[in-house]
Amino acid sequence: MKRAILAAVALAAVAGAAKAEDGYDLWLRYRPLEKAVIARDVPYASAIMAQGASPTILAAREELQRGLSGLLGKRVPLATALKSGTILIGTPKDLAIAKLALPLEKAGAEGYVIKTVGRTTVIAGNSDVGALHGAFAYLRLVQTRGMLNSLDIVSAPKIGLRMLNHWDNVDRTLERGYSGISIFNWWELPGHLDPQYKDYARANASLGLNGTVLTNPSGVSAATSLETAWIKKAAALAGVMRPYGIKVYLSVRFSAPMEVGGLKTADPLDPQVRQWWKDKADEIYTLIPDFGGFLVKANSEGQPGPQDYGRSHADGANMMAEALAPHHGIVLWRAFVYSPSPEDRVKQSYNEFKPLDGKFLPNVIVQSKNGPLDFQPREPFSPVFGGLPNTSTGMEFQITKEYLGFEIHLVYLAPLWQEVLRSDTFAKGEGSTVARVVDGSLFQRPLSSIAGASNIGTARNWSGSIFDQANWYAFGRLAWDPDLDSKTIAEEWLKQTFTADPKFVEPVTEMMLGSRETAVDYMTPLGLAHQMATSHHYGPGPWVDDAGRPDWNPVYYARADENGIGVDRTATGANAVSQYAAPVAKAFSDPKATPENLLLWFHHLPWSYAMPSGGNLWESLVHHYAHGVNKVAEMQTRWQAMKPFVDAERFQITADFLAMQKENAELWRDGSIAYFQSVSHLPLPDGVPAPAHPLSFYKSLKLPFAPGSPGRTASPFALTGK
Taking the complex as a whole, the smallest distance from the CB of residue 338 to ligand BDP amounts, in Å, to 8
Contact predicate 608/618, CB 8 Å: yes
Nearest CA among 523, 589, 587 for reference residue 557: 523
Q: Does 63 bind ligand BDP (CB under 6 A)?
A: no
Structure-derived torsion over alpha carbons of residues 47, 49, 53, 56, reported in degrees to the nearest 10: -70
Q: Which residue in the set 333, 360, 375, 538 belongs to the binding site for ligand BDP (CB under 6 A)?
A: 375
Which of 140, 172, 176, 401 lies at the binding interface for ligand BDP (CB under 6 A)?
A: 176
Side chain identity, residue 187: W
DSSP string, 643-700: GGGS-HHHHHHHHHHHHHHHHHHHHHHHHHHHHHHHHH-PPPPTTPPPPSS-HHHHHT
- Shortest distance (Å) from residue 89 CB to ligand BDP: 40
CB of residue 284 to ligand BDP, shortest distance in Å = 23
301 in active site: yes
The answer for residues whose C-beta is within 8 angstroms of residue 429's C-beta and 6 or more apart is none
- Residue whose CB is less far from ligand BDP, 174 or 629: 174
For 687, other C-beta atoms within 10 Å of its C-beta total 7
Closer to ligand BDP by CB, 338 or 609: give it. 338
- Residue closest to 273 by CA, chosen among 262, 259, 257, 284: 257
Which C-beta is closer to ligand BDP: that of 155 or that of 218?
218
What backbone phi and psi angles, to 5 degrees, belong to 8? -65, -40
d(CA 716, CA 722): 14
Q: In this complex, which beta carbon is closest to ligand BDP, that of residue 158 or of residue 537?
A: 537
Cβ-Cβ contacts under 8 Å for 351 (sequence gap 6 or more): 343, 579
- Give the footprint of ligand BDP on residues 290-309 (CB under 6 A): 297
The one-letter code for the residue type at 404 is L
Closer to ligand BDP at the Cβ: 243 or 405? 405
Say if residues 386 and 539 touch (Cβ distance below 8 Å).
no
Q: For residue 560, give the nearest of 626, 630, 505, 607 by alpha carbon.
A: 607
Note the helical H segments in 80-166.
Answer: 95-98, 128-143
- Minimum CB separation of residue 176 from ligand BDP in Å reads 5
Other C-beta atoms lying within 10 Å of the C-beta of residue 240? 19
Q: How many Cβ atoms from other residues are within 10 Å of residue 75's Cβ?
A: 10
Instruction: Give whichever of 46 and 303 is closer to ligand BDP, judged by the CB atom.
Output: 303
CB of 420 to ligand BDP, least distance (A): 16
The alpha carbons of the chain give a radius of gyration, in whole angstroms, of: 26
Of 128, 374, 491, 492, the one binding ligand BDP (CB under 6 A) is 374
Helix or strand or coil: residue 164?
A: strand
Query: From the candidates 110, 259, 267, 374, which is the catalytic residue?
Result: 374
Q: Residue 379, interface with ligand BDP (CB under 6 A)? A: no
Helix, coil or strand: residue 460: coil
Q: Is 565 helix (H, G, I), strand (E, B) or coil?
A: strand
Count of chain residues binding ligand BDP (CB under 6 A): 8
Q: Interface residues for ligand BDP in 653-682 (CB under 6 A)?
A: none
Q: SS3 letters for 201-239?
A: HHHHHHHCCCEEECCCCCCCHHHHCCCHHHHHHHHHHHH
As measured in angstroms, the least distance from the Cβ of 519 to ligand BDP is 16
Residue span 546-585 as binding mask against ligand BDP, x where in contact by CB under 6 A, dash where not? ----------------------------------------
- Looking at beta carbons only, is 202 or 297 nearer to ligand BDP? 297
- Judged by DSSP in three states, 46 sits in coil
Toward ligand BDP, which CB reaches closer, 175 or 344?
Answer: 175
Kindly tell me which of 352 and 568 has the beta carbon lying closer to ligand BDP. Answer: 352
Q: Is residue 402 at the binding interface for ligand BDP, with CB under 6 A as the rule? A: yes
Quick one: 127 or 531, whose CB is closer to ligand BDP?
531
Instruction: Please give the Cα distance from 196 to 213 (Å, whole number).
Output: 17
Q: 370 near 420, Cβ under 8 Å?
A: yes
Residues whose CB is less than 8 angstroms from the CB of residue 532 and which lie 6 or more positions away in sequence, other chains included: 403, 523, 538, 539, 540, 541, 553
Q: Which is nearer to ligand BDP, 108 or 217 (CB)?
A: 217
What gap in Å lies between CA 114 and CA 183, rounded to an integer? 34
Instruction: Give the nearest distance from C-beta 541 to ligand BDP in angstroms.
Output: 14
Tell me how far, at minimum, the Cβ of 98 lies from ligand BDP, in Å: 47
Distance (Å, rounded) from C-alpha 64 to C-alpha 46? 11
Return the number of the residue (173 or 672) whose C-beta is nearest ligand BDP: 173
| Minimum distance of ligand BDP from residue 180's CB (angstroms) | 17
Closest CA to 510 of 518, 522, 498, 521: 518
Q: Residue 675 and residue 352: Cα distance in Å, rounded? A: 35
Q: Nearest to ligand BDP by Cβ — which residue?
A: 218
402 part of the active site = yes
Whole-number minimum distance, CB 175 to ligand BDP, in Å? 5
CA distance 57 to 11: 41
Among residues 171, 279, 283, 301, the one annotated as catalytic is 301
Minimal distance in Å, beta carbon 217 to ligand BDP?
6
How does strand 86-90 pair with strand 120-124?
Answer: parallel
Using CB under 6 A, which residues numbered 202 to 261 contact ligand BDP?
218
b/e sequence 175-208, b meaning 16+ C-beta within 10 Å: bbbbbbbbbbbbeebbeeebebbebbbbbbbbbb
Q: What residues between 322 and 341 interact with ligand BDP by CB under 6 A?
A: 336
Torsion on CA atoms 293, 236, 165, 178, rounded to nearest 10? -160
**Of 374 and 491, CB closest to ligand BDP:** 374
How many angstroms separate the CA atoms of 460 and 233, rounded? 23
Q: How far is the CB of 343 from ligand BDP (least distance, A)?
A: 18
Q: Which residue in 175, 267, 379, 402 is the catalytic one? A: 402
Q: Which of residues 452-481 bind ligand BDP (CB under 6 A)?
A: none
Taking the complex as a whole, the smallest distance from the CB of residue 225 to ligand BDP amounts, in Å, to 16
Q: List all residues 6 or more positions away from 506 whose beta carbon is below 8 Å from its beta carbon.
A: none
**Would you give the binding string for ligand BDP spanning residues 136-175, x where CB under 6 A is met?**
---------------------------------------x
H or E stretch covering 583:
helix 582-589
Supply the residues annotated as catalytic. 301, 374, 402
Residues forming the site for ligand BDP (CB under 6 A) = 175-176, 218, 297, 336, 374-375, 402
